[in-house]
Amino acid sequence: MSGIQQIPGVSPTPAPLYNGVSRNSGSLPAAAFSGVRTRRLIGVAIDFAIVGTIVLAFGIIFALPTLGMSLFILPTLFPIFAFFYNGLLVSGRTMGTWGMWLMDLEMGMTDGTRVSFVTAGVHAVLFYVSWMFPPVFLVSLLSDDKRCLHDMFADVVITRRTL
């Protein structure tokens, strides 16, 4: 018996291929990256609106019974909720957040496998840390596969969704 145990309900199968080509960013066709930067910006704006609305709703719901005392924890709710939002949705079957899904994007590991919850969560943390240093987003202008620095650290690639 091998020392590796299979977790029930979790398949080690790789993520779907992009039109039969592995997700390895060096082998993907140019069409996989067509318009990715613009679509990512719009998708992030959609995700910010979704997460912000949900956090605001939680803030209002908790502020009423506590007479506003819970508003002190409101700033910490956004990053916590965003971590789980990104982790659960990117590691799910759609391979992207709702904003990415609406913009026809998906995220996969560069080796062709699906993104795990932990990797998706780390990617989200790296993304929010990147906002403190905006020039790091310029890396995507120099990268052939339009990956940002936080994508490279998390070893993920974002492509157009295949139909």
Q: Domains of the chain: which residue ranges?
A: 33-160
Averaged pLDDT for residues 45-51: 92
Three-state DSSP at 51 gives: helix
Residue 71 is classified by DSSP as G
End-to-end CA distance of the chain: 40
- Provide mean pLDDT across the span 30-40: 81
Q: Which residue has the tokens 């391979």?
A: 95
Q: Cα separations (Å) of 36 from 81, 105, 126, 157?
A: 25, 8, 19, 11
pLDDT confidence tier of residue 42, bands split at 50, 70 and 90 = very high
The confidence score (pLDDT) of residue 26 equals 56
Per-residue pLDDT at 61 exceeds 60 = yes
- Whether the pLDDT of residue 159 is over 50: the answer is yes
Between 14 and 151, whose confidence is greater? 151
Residue 156 DSSP class: E
pTM: 0.75
* Better-predicted residue by pLDDT, 10 or 70: 70
Structure confidence by residue, pLDDT tens digits, 80-110 = 888 899 999 998 888 899 999 999 999 888 8
Instruction: Indicate the pLDDT class of residue 2, thresholds 50, 70 and 90.
Output: very low
